[in-house]
Structure 1
Amino acid sequence: MKKTFIIAIMAILAIGAQAQEKKTENKNKPVFTVVKENPITSIKDQNRSGTCWAYSTLSYFEAEILKKTGKTYDLCESFVANKDYMDRAIQVVRLHGDCQFAQGGSAYDVHYVLQNYGICPEEAMPFPGSLYGDSLNNFNEFFSLLEPYVAAVSKSNAKKISNQWKVGLQGILDAYLGKCPEEFTYQGKKYTPKSFAASLGLDWNDYVSITSFTHHPFYTAYAVEVQDNWRNPLSYNVPMDEMMKIIDNAIMNGYTVAWGGDVSEEGFTRNGLAYAIDTKKTESLQGSDMARWLKMTAQKKRNLIDSLGCTVPEVKATQEMRQERFDNWELTDDHGMLIFGIAKDQNGREYYMVKNSWGETGEYKGIWYMTKTFIAANTMDYTVNKNAIPKDIRKKLGI
């Protein structure tokens, strides 16, 4: 009898818990239908390093190889970082410290390294973090040594400096990232980094950068004015609607896009969603706490965005808005990701499916669903295969 009573009580509690769960279920949670999804390689984790540019762009080239050859590769981010940080330090020294030395970079940095130095598979260098007893990248100690080293050389009062500073810097790079191999064996065959890059089957001349701002003429190319664009590669400037048309055309034709832009906006959640929040509409919503939007903490805002889900009011992205936000420092270049698909929610709103490099985090295990409006408003530039650009736009660009 006592046992039966206990079972009954447990059943009542279970029913109550289920009822509570149903009661708190968010009816606005997006339900996605995939429109087009292109193959990508596995989710990686940049951890505590500012190397999203390396992870996202290598992921892009891995997807390009997958599309062209059907082969899956895991290319080495540490190789790219080792080569790139040395090149960047050399430029900083040449300019006597009058430019930035930092962890960040651009998609073109990866393109440049692949084309000029080659690449190796992940297995040909030490696993990220393993050299200093960590399980993933952690650049805190690494850059606390690297930045003052470069600053000391570049700001030196000496009338002449020797080349030995490069030897010392290379030692730091190798100690934390691993030494780049001159030769290695992969799947039973010997390669150098350059011969391995050549074996991947890609034409490095196929890749171009696209942007959209009005302070330069459309259908011309210029170097986007952001600090991490330190190699000064040229990006083709097109109107915003064509910038978006290129992304859509690429995805629908089986290509991916190496995207760079701003994820510091309140609408970019840590749970795998990104909306271009219309804060004015959000503030003015009647009968809710939204009227106190501007006074809310960042956490409360995120909670409200999550609760609104697919009903979040979004701004209308315009060319003028993009330019104004770029000029007043609101639109920044702070993250790189990989756009690989298109999906719709239950209300018909369209999103891009985007691969991040923060591990299998969030609701969608490392994938973000970012509305087309968010991408239109927050894109700095992106790399795409020129063959993925619609013919009419290619003709305007002369490529």
Structure 2
Amino acid sequence: MCRKFFLTALLFVTVAGSGWLHAQDDLIKKISGNSSDSTGFRFTNIINLEVTPIENQGSSGTCWSYSTNSFLESEMIKAGRKPVPLAKIYTARRSYEDKAENYVKMNGAVSWGDGGEAHDVINMYAKYGAVPEEVYTGLLNGATTNNFSEMQAILKAMLDAVIKNPAGVLSPRWKKAFAATLDAYLGPVPPMFTYQNKSYTPQSFAKEVVGLDAGNYIEFISQNNTPYWQKAMMMVPDNWAFQWDYNIPPAAVTDIIDNALKNGYTVAWGTDVSEPYFSWPNGVAFVPQNPFSYVKNITAAQKKELFTSPKPEPEITPELRQTGIENGQTSDDHGMHIVGLSKDQDGKEYYIVKNSWGTGNEYKGYLHVTKAYVQFKTTSILVNKKAVPKSVASKITL
């Protein structure tokens, strides 16, 4: 997830705002009421859950960490706690360390890079705890945004050299060399730190301040080539942890999201953002009729026409969705955070989605995404188990 599109997104981003309430006010001002904009869409909010500020992942494929940590921050709000901006790069760094072990054990027969999945954030939280963002930013030498390109090239070259194993027997020293490289680019992780005049370890901070139980979360996928309502492998390259998730029909994906939002829970969302009918600048995504007739490299004029006003959408059947998966048009591109529900001037409902590309689009870092798009292009969703409707929970083992 987040392997292709974060670089082009930088063309549109600006510096993120600050302050949790300020971010919430911005969302309300931009989406509430009848707001008209340059695209011809007018949105009214229906559900608008509390969130932490928009952030900018910079030139790094860490959307999965930004989006799912944002989700955990909203989980803190839902639990009645004061939200703490969590260190997204701490989560990513711990994930890279675990991923490196898998990469070496598999002799490089797994993907390497910045990418990950929503479940990686939960797994790292359970295993390594959490750190406040003010303690570990991963930014050195005056940098203000992430840039992982050089670091990842060096890390992969190092791992590939380890796999070749010129000594004949692997020594444990490669892990220290790997960690030292991460230290050089991201800074060392403090084993102890002070937050609001109290000392913590990452584990004690997760327990005492964040206060969330990693066992409370569940992830879902949707594919029709394995049985529904049973667990199946998430077949995407960035699933380096080889996670198995519950497989559900496309309609159940939006059933879960609707139930979550209505009960005050947000959703971590993995999706494809490569299609011309996903527009970050316009802040809108939908599914046109005959979606497979749209090539990715349409002209600017053709793309502009897509977003002049709301358009009719096809019914998203399991077969239509699976065609996109099988022909490669639906890919595991990006992770975002579903935080609310809106409707357009025709009454069609959209999900309000928080992104991590800064605030430089039509809706100051947010998007409106139709339910059809979510059914068609979702790669995974992760939610609190309490957010799962009874109609779904009765068919799986929670």
Per the TM superposition, whether the score is higher than 0.5 is: yes
Deviations 1:309-359 (A, max 9, x none): 22x243321111111211222111110000010100001111000000001
Are the structure 2 counterparts of residues 230 and 27 from structure 1 closer, same or farther at C-alpha, using a change threshold of 3 Å? closer
Which residue identity does 1:124 align to in structure 2?
Answer: V
Asked if structure 1 preserves the Cα contact closer than 8 Å seen for 2:275 and 2:296, the reply is no
Q: How many residues align?
A: 361
SS in 2 for 1:108: helix
- Structure 2 equivalent of residue 186 of structure 1: 195
SS in 1 for 2:352: strand
- Structure 2 equivalent of residue 165 of structure 1: 174
- Structure 2 equivalent of residue 206 of structure 1: 216
- Structure 1 equivalent of residue 29 of structure 2: none
Are the structure 2 counterparts of residues 28 and 62 from structure 1 closer, same or farther at C-alpha, using a change threshold of 3 Å? closer
In the alignment, the residues of structure 2 paired with residue 298 and residue 160 of structure 1 have an alpha-carbon distance, to the nearest angstrom, of: 55
- Structure 1 equivalent of residue 50 of structure 2: 39
- Offset of 1:58 from its aligned partner? 0.2
Asked if structure 1 preserves the Cα contact closer than 8 Å seen for 2:276 and 2:296, the reply is no
Of 259, 274, 279, which aligns to 2:269?
Answer: 259
Which residue identity does 1:309 align to in structure 2?
Answer: S
For the pair 1:219 / 2:252, whether they are aligned, the reply is no
- Structure 2 equivalent of residue 229 of structure 1: 239
Are the structure 2 counterparts of residues 184 and 326 from structure 1 closer, same or farther at C-alpha, using a change threshold of 3 Å? same
In the alignment, the residues of structure 2 paired with residue 368 and residue 177 of structure 1 have an alpha-carbon distance, to the nearest angstrom, of: 30
Asked if structure 2 preserves the Cα contact closer than 8 Å seen for 1:266 and 1:277, the reply is no
What is the percentage of aligned positions where both structures have the same residue?
39
Deviations 1:153-183 (A, max 9, x none): 1233542121111111111111112211111
Of 113, 122, 129, which aligns to 1:118?
Answer: 129
In the alignment, the residues of structure 2 paired with residue 375 and residue 295 of structure 1 have an alpha-carbon distance, to the nearest angstrom, of: 18
- Offset of 1:396 from its aligned partner? 1.0
Which residue identity does 1:163 align to in structure 2?
Answer: P
SS in 2 for 1:181: coil
For the pair 1:301 / 2:302, whether they are aligned, the reply is yes
Which residue identity does 2:77 align to in structure 1?
Answer: L
Deviations 1:257-287 (A, max 9, x none): 0000101111111221111122579x8xxxx
SS in 2 for 1:208: strand
Counterparts of 1:305-324 in structure 2, within 5 Å, are: 305-306=306-307, 308-310=308-310, 312-324=311-323
In the alignment, the residues of structure 1 paired with residue 265 and residue 297 of structure 2 have an alpha-carbon distance, to the nearest angstrom, of: 40
Asked if structure 1 preserves the Cα contact closer than 8 Å seen for 2:43 and 2:342, the reply is yes
SS in 2 for 1:185: strand
SS in 2 for 1:384: strand
The structure with the largest alpha-carbon Rg is 1
Are the structure 2 counterparts of residues 270 and 28 from structure 1 closer, same or farther at C-alpha, using a change threshold of 3 Å? closer
For the pair 1:248 / 2:247, whether they are aligned, the reply is no
- Offset of 1:54 from its aligned partner? 0.4
Of 205, 211, 225, which aligns to 1:196?
Answer: 205
- Offset of 1:361 from its aligned partner? 1.7
In the alignment, the residues of structure 2 paired with residue 295 and residue 359 of structure 1 have an alpha-carbon distance, to the nearest angstrom, of: 24
Asked if structure 2 preserves the Cα contact closer than 8 Å seen for 1:266 and 1:301, the reply is no
Asked if structure 2 preserves the Cα contact closer than 8 Å seen for 1:100 and 1:227, the reply is yes
- Offset of 1:82 from its aligned partner? 1.3
Are the structure 2 counterparts of residues 319 and 345 from structure 1 closer, same or farther at C-alpha, using a change threshold of 3 Å? same
In the alignment, the residues of structure 2 paired with residue 42 and residue 294 of structure 1 have an alpha-carbon distance, to the nearest angstrom, of: 34
Are the structure 2 counterparts of residues 151 and 204 from structure 1 closer, same or farther at C-alpha, using a change threshold of 3 Å? same
For the pair 1:77 / 2:93, whether they are aligned, the reply is no
- Structure 1 equivalent of residue 71 of structure 2: 60
**More divergent stretch after superposition (210-219 vs 373-382):** 210-219
Which residue identity does 1:357 align to in structure 2?
Answer: S
In the alignment, the residues of structure 2 paired with residue 89 and residue 27 of structure 1 have an alpha-carbon distance, to the nearest angstrom, of: 46
Asked if structure 2 preserves the Cα contact closer than 8 Å seen for 1:128 and 1:136, the reply is no
Are the structure 2 counterparts of residues 148 and 279 from structure 1 closer, same or farther at C-alpha, using a change threshold of 3 Å? same
- Structure 2 equivalent of residue 88 of structure 1: 99
Which residue identity does 1:34 align to in structure 2?
Answer: N
In the alignment, the residues of structure 2 paired with residue 298 and residue 135 of structure 1 have an alpha-carbon distance, to the nearest angstrom, of: 34
Which residue identity does 2:251 align to in structure 1?
Answer: D
Asked if structure 2 preserves the Cα contact closer than 8 Å seen for 1:49 and 1:137, the reply is yes
**Which residues of structure 2 form unaligned runs of 5+?**
1-35
Asked if structure 1 preserves the Cα contact closer than 8 Å seen for 2:123 and 2:214, the reply is no
Asked if structure 2 preserves the Cα contact closer than 8 Å seen for 1:259 and 1:381, the reply is yes
* Coordinate RMSD, CA, aligned: 2.0
- Structure 1 equivalent of residue 345 of structure 2: 346
Asked if structure 1 preserves the Cα contact closer than 8 Å seen for 2:90 and 2:138, the reply is no
Deviations 1:59-93 (A, max 9, x none): 00000011102312100011111111011111111
Are the structure 2 counterparts of residues 154 and 395 from structure 1 closer, same or farther at C-alpha, using a change threshold of 3 Å? same
In the alignment, the residues of structure 2 paired with residue 362 and residue 27 of structure 1 have an alpha-carbon distance, to the nearest angstrom, of: 11
For the pair 1:333 / 2:332, whether they are aligned, the reply is yes
Are the structure 2 counterparts of residues 296 and 223 from structure 1 closer, same or farther at C-alpha, using a change threshold of 3 Å? closer
Q: TM-score, normalised by structure 1?
A: 0.86
